[in-house]
Amino acid sequence: MKLLEKTSRIYLLASLVIYVAVGIAFYWITTFMIYDEVESRLMVEKRDFESYLQTNNTWTNNSYFVENKIEVVPVFGEFENEATFTDTLIYNRYEESMDPFRQLTFYTMIGGSPYRVAIRKSIVESYKLIEAISAAMITFLALLMVGMFFFQRNLSGKLWRPFYGSLARIKDFDWTRNNKLEFESSEISEFNELNEVMVKMASKMQHDYKSLREFTENASHEIQTPLALINARVEQFIQSQDLSENQTHWIEEIYHAARRMSRLNQGLLLLAKIENQQFTEQESIDLAALIIARLKDFEDIITHKNITIHTETKGSFVKKMSPALAEIMVTNLVSNAIKHNYTDGKLTILTGNNFFVLSNTGHELKADPERLFERFKKESAQAESVGLGLAIVKQICDNYELHIDYRNVDSLHSIRVFA
């Protein structure tokens, strides 16, 4: 939920509650005032009635008039001599409706016998007044609420504008580039503080990225150059005619060790670069097509090992990722499926909607399949293998939120990559 929406909702809910409470209170107060007024007038009429009795000592019921109706009824038996106010409805013979009345009931002696006297006063006018007041109040409060709602919405929008500006800049910020993160200064000090913190963090990120990038470049140069020297010297050394069998063996070992070290270094640096997200270029890549294309590079070895290739396409797997990393991922997987395959073995490539599976025949796994994608997990004792191929594939998958798993189905090693 957006911030503005959230504040609007809270505002609306709170003002609705207050509105209802104010409405109820107002209604209650008005009613109370009206009753109070009517009752005090009824008390005045009671006094008038009593003084009339004192002078005349008699009363004739004249029930023709609706208003100011005084009803005198003789009472027999016991009664409690007290005055009470009650609400009652009287039939209005002209409007054919029941009208509300306030009634004061008390007892008095007329000509020596007790009578119950009820004086009534219509409050229909008062109800009309309440209705009119209520309607006016509802209209004004509603207008006020709507007005306040738009005012606060507008105000919040204005107040938070620098925040949204900063947010957009942070979203656009790319730490792999040299452009500094910059903000416009705002009147609100909290936003300025936030911006300052963000600028500090961003420049730290850029600095870390840059230094790791430089490190991978330097490490690559500093390690590969001496290895190139070892390689070159070994090549020169083997040109001499008079090498003993032992010397040949040693020199071969030096050569292989240097090659392995170079591969290891390249593999580890590649992992570091992938982790550091140095491959920023992105393209939509059809991974199924890429696998088929990469298979061509392995044509010779596939023919040599007489591996039967079976491809099945059920859908497309297009992923937005770095073309270089897509190549590395696919090449490593294909190379792996061929390297660990038997002569006369099989390789099945199944591609579908957002997944592909490479299945190959091969020796049973010695290691725990769970740890297959860890670094330095070697299946073969081959001197040239450094055990980083699948770790690199895993790291690439992690970077692009792809999943990878291994299964052994019908003694086929299956590696599945899916989105």
Q: Tell which one of 89, 228, 293, 367 touches another protein (CB under 8 A).
A: 228
Q: Cβ(311)–Cβ(292) under 8 Å?
A: yes
Q: Cβ(281)–Cβ(325) under 8 Å?
A: no
Q: Nearest distance from residue 339's CB to another protein, in Å?
A: 4
Residue 366 near another protein by CB under 8 A: no
Q: Which stretch binds another protein (CB under 8 A): 67-75, 103-111, 174-182, 222-230?
A: 222-230
25 versus 238: smaller Cβ distance to another protein: 238
3-class DSSP assignment, residue 92? strand
Q: Tell which one of 238, 257, 293, 367 touches another protein (CB under 8 A).
A: 238
Q: Cβ(334)–Cβ(358) under 8 Å?
A: yes
Estimate to the nearest angstrom the gap between the alpha carbon of 281 and the chain centroid: 28
Residue 235 near another protein by CB under 8 A: yes
For tokens 């593999």, the residue is: 267
Residue 136 near another protein by CB under 8 A: no
Q: How far apart are CA 87 and CA 100, in angstroms?
A: 7
Question: Structure tokens of 30?
Answer: 């008005």
Q: Which stretch binds another protein (CB under 8 A): 9-17, 96-104, 137-145, 236-244?
A: 236-244
Q: Nearest distance from residue 387's CB to another protein, in Å?
A: 12
38 versus 258: smaller Cβ distance to another protein: 258
Q: Tell which one of 100, 147, 226, 369 touches another protein (CB under 8 A).
A: 226
Q: Nearest distance from residue 165's CB to another protein, in Å?
A: 34
Q: Nearest distance from residue 326's CB to another protein, in Å?
A: 11
Site for another protein in 248-287 (CB under 8 A): 248-249, 251-252, 255, 258-259, 262-263, 266, 273
162 versus 345: smaller Cβ distance to another protein: 345
Residue 120 near another protein by CB under 8 A: no
Q: How far apart are CA 31 and CA 334, in angstroms?
A: 88
Q: Tell which one of 96, 187, 245, 410 touches another protein (CB under 8 A).
A: 245
Q: How far apart are CA 47 and CA 53, in angstroms?
A: 10
Task: Tell the burial category of 245 from Cβ atoms under 10 Å away from its Cβ (0-12, 13-18, 19+).
Answer: exposed
Q: What angle do CA 356, 358, 362 make, to 5 degrees?
A: 165
Residue 225 near another protein by CB under 8 A: yes
Contact string 288-317 vs another protein (x = CB under 8 A):
---------xx-xx--xx------------
Residue 311 pairs in a beta bridge with 349
Q: How far apart are CA 262 and CA 387, in angstroms?
A: 13
Residue 339 near another protein by CB under 8 A: yes
Per-residue burial over 168-180, b = 16 or more CB atoms within 10 Å of its CB, e = otherwise: ebeeebebeeeee
Neighbours of 369 (CB within 10 A): 12
Q: Which stretch binds another protein (CB under 8 A): 7-15, 214-222, 309-317, 411-419?
A: 214-222
Residue 233 near another protein by CB under 8 A: yes
180 versus 256: smaller Cβ distance to another protein: 256
Q: How far apart are CA 4 and CA 297, in angstroms?
A: 57
> Distance of CA 80 to CAs 45, 88, 107, 108, 155, Å?
21, 20, 8, 11, 66
Residues in contact with another protein by the rule CB under 8 A: 217, 220-233, 235-236, 238-239, 245, 248-249, 251-252, 255, 258-259, 262-263, 266, 273, 297-298, 300-301, 304-305, 324, 331, 335, 338-339, 382, 384-385
